[in-house]
Amino acid sequence: MAGGPAGRRPRVHPADEPLLLADDLAAVRGDGCFETLLVVGGRAAKPERHLARLGRSAAALELTGPDEQEWLAGIGMATREWGAESEGVLRLVLSRGPERGGPETAYITVGPVGPQVLRARAEGVAVTVLIRGFASDVADSAPWLLLGSKTLSYATNMAAVRHAAANGFDDVVYVSSEGEVLEGPRSTVVIERAGELLSPPQEVGILEGTTLGAMTAVARQAGVTVRRERLLVADLLAADAVWLVSSVTLAARVRRIDGVALPSTVPGVDVARLVDRAVGRP
């Protein structure tokens, strides 16, 4: 675990020693942003995409943060600490710093990939559709809602996942108040239809998925089209296959949406393989 204030040289901080002051705005206001990266073969996957998104989130929050070289130095230190033997989860955190005043807080954690992630990769997931409460046109008109930013304020995302689990589901697909498909609380929705891959456009008020971006580049080389298109729940139910893609879980095939089992046929496009290649996984 590497920590320290923004703008200083990174240093290793023992994981079992407190790092944050009690009034750090990360803790008392969720006032900051983060990224989660997969560590595979001793290297963090697609760091440039995560740093670009972290930079956009920081700008939306009016935070500065370490520059790209400083983050890369910290990522290098954290991945060396983690080693190459097993996959890991690396998190970049940037907060406004202590409420009493002082520099922004920037740190990196690294830890193991959880068993739920491994199960979702291997067996797929059952998802429930939940409203996120916003109309799909609100992101542009109300920037204070921070809809395109990956902020530390994830309480409702975690509550949605708990709500799903209490009803026997592994994960969630959010829809807008008009019923448009948005995203998962921790993932991007991708469907296969007639040999093409489709995913909702960012302007419906969702995060721009780094895994979707990296996968799109790999898919293009493989002759597979990835298009951004507005989707309804009916489009998921009628799809040849549905996935949740994300940086750590990678590709989780959706097996069931609420009461409806999805077709278990072999899909035409091997999304899991495309994602593996996108993150440099053997």
What's the closest the beta carbon of residue 2 comes to a copy of itself, in angstroms? 9
What's the closest the beta carbon of residue 164 comes to a copy of itself, in angstroms? 9
By C-beta, is 160 or 214 nearer to a copy of itself?
Answer: 160
By C-beta, is 71 or 107 nearer to a copy of itself?
Answer: 107
42, exposed or middle or buried, with CB in 10 Å at 0-12, 13-18, 19+? middle
User: For residue 61, what are the contacts with CB-CB under 8 A and spacing of at least 6?
Assistant: 31, 32, 33, 96, 146, 149, 151
Would you say 179 and 120 are in contact if contact means Cβ atoms under 8 Å apart? no
Strands 105-112 and 88-95: antiparallel
What's the closest the beta carbon of residue 43 comes to a copy of itself, in angstroms? 22
Rounded to whole angstroms, the Cα distance separating 106 from 97 reads 8
By C-beta, is 146 or 272 nearer to a copy of itself?
Answer: 146
Please report, as a single letter, which amino acid is at residue 121: R
By C-beta, is 61 or 219 nearer to a copy of itself?
Answer: 61
By C-beta, is 122 or 155 nearer to a copy of itself?
Answer: 155
Alpha carbon 265 to its chain centroid, in Å, reads 27
Distance in Å from the first CA to the final CA of the chain: 26
What's the closest the beta carbon of residue 77 comes to a copy of itself, in angstroms? 14
Residues that bind a copy of itself (CB under 8 A): 1, 3, 13, 15-32, 34, 60-62, 91, 93, 95, 99-100, 107, 109, 111, 130-135, 138, 141-146, 151-160, 162-163, 177
What's the closest the beta carbon of residue 217 comes to a copy of itself, in angstroms? 29
Would you say 270 and 197 are in contact if contact means Cβ atoms under 8 Å apart? no
129, exposed or middle or buried, with CB in 10 Å at 0-12, 13-18, 19+? middle
By C-beta, is 3 or 124 nearer to a copy of itself?
Answer: 3
By C-beta, is 176 or 216 nearer to a copy of itself?
Answer: 176
Q: Is 147 helix (H, G, I), strand (E, B) or coil?
A: coil
What's the closest the beta carbon of residue 1 comes to a copy of itself, in angstroms? 6
What's the closest the beta carbon of residue 64 comes to a copy of itself, in angstroms? 14
Would you say 245 and 271 are in contact if contact means Cβ atoms under 8 Å apart? yes
Would you say 78 and 108 are in contact if contact means Cβ atoms under 8 Å apart? yes
